[in-house]
Structures are given as structure tokens and as C-alpha cells.
Amino acid sequence: MARMHSGSRGKASSHKPVDKTVPSWVGYKSAEVEQLIVKMAKQEKTSSAIGIVLRDSYGIPSVKAFLGKSIVEVMKEKKVFGKLPEDLLSLIKKHIAVMKHAAESKHDQVAARGVQLTESKIKRLVTYYKQKGVLAEDWTYDRTHAKMYLE
């Protein structure tokens, strides 16, 4: 898949294994895994951070193969899901960082363009989440109050 704002192709990286079966060496029950997810979500960890901890510390390679539902679905069921989706929050954090750099370096035109591109991605993602019903129809992103969304 091509990158969004550049002429280059994709970004090569590793992929999850095709096999969706639960390995025999996983010694946890589904209720225990759900409790671990809820505990980490209450510590304000993101769903991707929870997945990494479960993979590296607990030896659970795929929560979806193990439980039959994703980490986000478990968090929504247990009502410990945040107000905003994780990808939108990470874009807002990136936008804040790029805006800070652009304010400090007035002549850095690449950073100024980075602010525009990141804000464009945020607006596109907000439109998608409004269509899917994840965000309220009256929700808007305001760059002057961007830090407020992270609290």
C-alpha cells in the first residue's frame, strides 16, 4: 500500500502469523486474560501496549485467536475504553509535537507542512469515526485546544 503524503511505496515490516490457532503452551484461561486486559486498561494503557505486554510477558501471541474477540472489543464490553480511539490520540500527540517544533523553528517550512499534513489526517480520521458512530456528530478538532483531548 502506498504512503499517504509521499511518492514512496509501502513500509516493509513483519506480519502476524497466518495460523489463527491457540498454541498448546498457553496456560491461561480466557477469564484470566480478560482480567489482565481490564487491569492494564485501568492503568491507562492503550490497546496496542496491552497486546505487546500480553505477548512479551504472558506468552499470549494473539488475543483475538485466544478469546475470539479483539482487545478493543473486550475493553468496550468491560466499559474501560477511552473517550477517543487510540489512532486518533496518537495523531493528536504527533500534531502537538510538530506544532511545538514549528513554533520554535519559524523558518522550518518542512515542519510547517508537517503540521498541515497531520491536521489533514486527523480531520480525515474524525470524518471516518463520525460515519461509524464512534465520535459524536458535533465533535470537532480544534488545534488551539489539542492538549485538552489528551487529558
Average pLDDT (79-98) is 90
For the stretch 8-59, pLDDT in tens is 777 677 776 666 777 778 888 888 989 999 999 999 888 999 999 998 898 8
Q: How confident is the model at residue 151 (pLDDT cuts 50, 70, 90)?
A: low
DSSP 8-class letter at 54: H
- Calculate helix-pair angle for 30-42, 47-56, nearest 10 degrees: 130
Confidence check: pLDDT of 150 > 90: no
Q: How confident is the model at residue 1 (pLDDT cuts 50, 70, 90)?
A: very low
Please provide residue 49's backbone torsions phi and psi, each rounded to the nearest 5 degrees: -65, -40
- Give the distance from CA 21 to its chain's centroid: 25
